[in-house]
Amino acid sequence: MIIGLLSLLALFGIRGVDGDRPLFWEHAAVLYAETTAVNKNSAGSYTISIKPLASLSGAFDCAAEPNLSAYALFGSPKISAISDAPRPGSRIIILIQETVVEKNLSGRQPLRFEVPNGDIAFFPKEKRDVRPAIFEVTGFDDPKVTETIENLRKLRGKQREEAEKAKAEPKPAAERAAEKKSQSQNSAVK
């Protein structure tokens, strides 16, 4: 059991998420969802099953994947900012990240998603003065949902402005020449 917990900590580590890099959002999403099940795997390790209802940010299509399961750590502040597992049937806001883990030692394919166990910079503060990656809400009109959306708009708006600014800046001569060459080769192929 201790070895299982240590291997989970090695896999997950206690890490926070700030979402500052646009690339992060290609493999992560903030979802409004309904909890369908929470199953204990080992000490502190759980599999949470959800029904995604809406994507607030990221590259997850709730219509294409109506159900998903993810690894999560709950409990002690030593292993997770998430103190308690959400109740089955509850509405939640959850940050999921795609995993890139191959088959595990038992030969089983691991879950495709995990829930970060550290402080999430763009989520509302909860008890213990942390921002866990999963929190229950009363519904989509809950003030914590609104706060999360506003935080995401600020973060993603800043990223959009930086991308637009980078597009508008003049490119070095060598980069412009390489683009011209690539465009001429592409038009020659057509």
Parallel/antiparallel/unpaired status of strands 134-137 and 91-98: antiparallel
CA distance 21 to 161: 13
Q: Give CA angle at 52 (4, 20), nearest 5°.
A: 75
pLDDT for res 148: 93
Structure confidence at residue 181 as a pLDDT band (50, 70, 90) = low
* For the chain, percent of residues with pLDDT exceeding 90: 32
pTM of the model: 0.73
Give domain limits for the chain: 2-168
For 117-176, what is each residue's pLDDT tens digit?
Answer: 888 888 888 877 888 889 999 999 999 999 999 998 888 877 777 777 777 777 666 666
Residues whose CB falls within 8 Å of the CB of residue 51, separated by 6 or more in sequence, listed in order: 33, 34, 36, 66, 67
CATH number (2.40.50.100, 2.40.50.120, 3.40.190.10, 2.60.120.10) of 2-168 reads 2.40.50.120
- Cβ burial of 84 (10 Å; 0-12, 13-18, 19+) is middle
Q: Give CA angle at 118 (10, 70), nearest 5°.
A: 70
For 90-132, what is each residue's pLDDT tens digit?
Answer: 999 999 998 866 665 666 555 689 998 888 888 888 877 888 8
Average pLDDT, the chain: 79
